Amino acid sequence: MTFFSGIFAINVWTVIACLLIGYLLGNIQTAIIVSRAYYHDDIRNHGSGNAGSTNMVRVYGYGPGAITFAGDFLKAFLGVLLGQLVVGQVGGYIAGLFVVVGHCWPAFDGFRGGKGVASSYSIAIFTFPLGALGAILIGGAILLINKKMSIMSLAAMLLFFVATLIFRLSNLPMIILAALLTIVVFIRHAENIQRLIHGEEQRLRKEGL
C-alpha cells in the first residue's frame, strides 16, 4: 500500500511512523513544563492562555520565554531529522508538519497548546535556510517597528511560503509543507488577526518590548 502525492510514493506505514514521531514530539510542551517546574503553575491559566514563548514572555519574562522558544524550536528540528532518517526528505517534511500539529493541539494536554511559530521557524530553517532566514529577518524588522509579535509571526510565515514558490517551485512537497505550516499558523492566530483588524492587539511585553 502506498501514499501518493503526485511526484513521490512511499509506504503508508512509513508515513504513519513519521506522523506519529512528529505528533508525539509536538506534545512535549516546553511552556507547560517550564511553568510547572519553576512557577508551580500552568502558563495556560494566564495571559492569552497559550502554551507558547510569547505568552511566557508576557507572564514570566524573557528568560522563560527564551527557554520555551528554544525547546519548541529544537523539538521540530529533531522531528525533521528523525523523519529524514526514516524515509528521507519527504519523511522530514511529514514529521516536521506534525510536530507543529502536535504542538498546537496536544492530545496529552487537552488539545490546548501553543501557536506553532517557533517550531515552524525551525522547520523552515532546516528545509530552506536562506528563504527562512530572509523571511524571519524581514519579520524581525516589522517587529522592531510595531512591537507586535503576531504581525511578525504571520508575516514571516507568509514570506517563507512566497519564497518557496519563487525559489523552490520544482519541489512540490516543500511548497505543500510551507503552505500547510502557514495555514496552521494563521488558524492559530485567528483571534490575533481579529484584534489586529480592530486595533486591539497588544504589543509584546512583560510590560513592554
**pLDDT, tens digit, for every residue of 23-61?**
999 999 999 999 999 999 999 999 989 999 999 999 999
For the record, the C-alpha cell of 105 comes out as 493541539
Look at the chain and count its residues: 209
Q: How many CA atoms lie within 13 A of 68 on its CB side?
A: 32
Burial state string for 100-115 with b = 16 or more CB within 10 A and e = fewer than 16: bbbbbbbeebeeebbb
pTM of the model: 0.90
Q: Quick one: pLDDT at residue 202? A: 80
Q: What is the mean pLDDT of residues 172-191?
A: 97
Mind listing the pLDDT tens digit for each residue in 57-106? 999 999 999 999 999 999 999 999 999 999 899 999 999 999 999 999 99
